[in-house]
Amino acid sequence: MDVFEAVAEPTRRHLISLLAERERTAGELVDSLPSLTQPAVSRHLRVLRETGLVEVRPDGQRRIYALKPDGLQRIDDWITPYRRFWRDHLDALQQHLEDE
Amino acid sequence: MDVFEAVAEPTRRHLISLLAERERTAGELVDSLPSLTQPAVSRHLRVLRETGLVEVRPDGQRRIYALKPDGLQRIDDWITPYRRFWRDHLDALQQHLEDE
DNA sequence: GGCGTATATAAGCGCAAGGTTATAAATCGA
DNA sequence: TCGATTTATAACCTTGCGCTTATATACGCC
């Protein structure tokens, strides 16, 4: 699975936003998603690990998950060339409003 | 389907890059993807339409597809708050290198 | 009107993703 | 050491996606 598919899943985006606040143990993340079972969350975390979006370090019997800085950058790199499209569009809109 | 799932598919990212160069007819897009059949491409275009990533206008019996400026922006909006992560990381790395 | 071209939809199929329950593996604490 | 806790994996099931072939729909042209 690649980064785009990893991020396409709403639950995984939720996990990413939780880890953006601060690093958390697997158990805390499970508790943050009461609609899912522990194995389901564990599988999502595995996907995030394997796509390089998060990293883990052991702390006794706990696993502490943290957001990896450069994971999402690959998506940003892809989107960068397209950014001019809506930027140009907004510029044109602004110009139009100023002309009135 | 939402924008993230739409963009998660490699073929659809390919179509987006083709439409970023210039607008094209459905037939041109089909010809650009020789590994796929016409209905397959048509379905991908439908997804891109329904997620607001492209727009179509008829030209006789042809359909001309064009990239919609604000479609990908929704992904960019999502990624924006996370951008500081790798920016800070790069800053820290640069600082570290300068310190040596 | 009738035929060829261009595009979209329908129906069916295989496969992978995400969910569950059950269980393994590792560590902590009494 | 042994039971409880924490996390990961296994096995299985269902659903949805993307592909195909076949067909519908719409338009251009003679």
What is residue A92's predicted lDDT score, i.e. its pLDDT?
65
Segments forming the whole domain that contains residue A24: 3-99
Chain D: nucleotides under 7 Å from a protein CB? 5-11, 17-22, 26-28
- Quote the minimal CA–CA distance from B65 to chain A in Å: 15
Q: pLDDT tens across A3-61, in order?
A: 999 999 999 999 999 999 999 999 999 999 999 999 999 999 999 999 999 999 999 99
SS (H, E, C) chain B: CCHHHHHHCHHHHHHHHHHHHCCEEHHHHHHHCCCCCHHHHHHHHHHHHHCCCEEEEEECCEEEEEECCCCCHHHHHHHHHHHHHHHHHHHHHHHHHHHC
Cβ–Cβ gap A89/B76 under 8 Å: no
Beta-carbon separation of B82 and A72 below 8 A: yes
| Domains in chain A, number | 1
With CA atoms as reference, the chain B residue closest to A17 would be B82
The CATH number covering residue B54 comes to 1.10.10.10
CB contacts of B20 in chain A (<8 Å) are: 81-82, 85
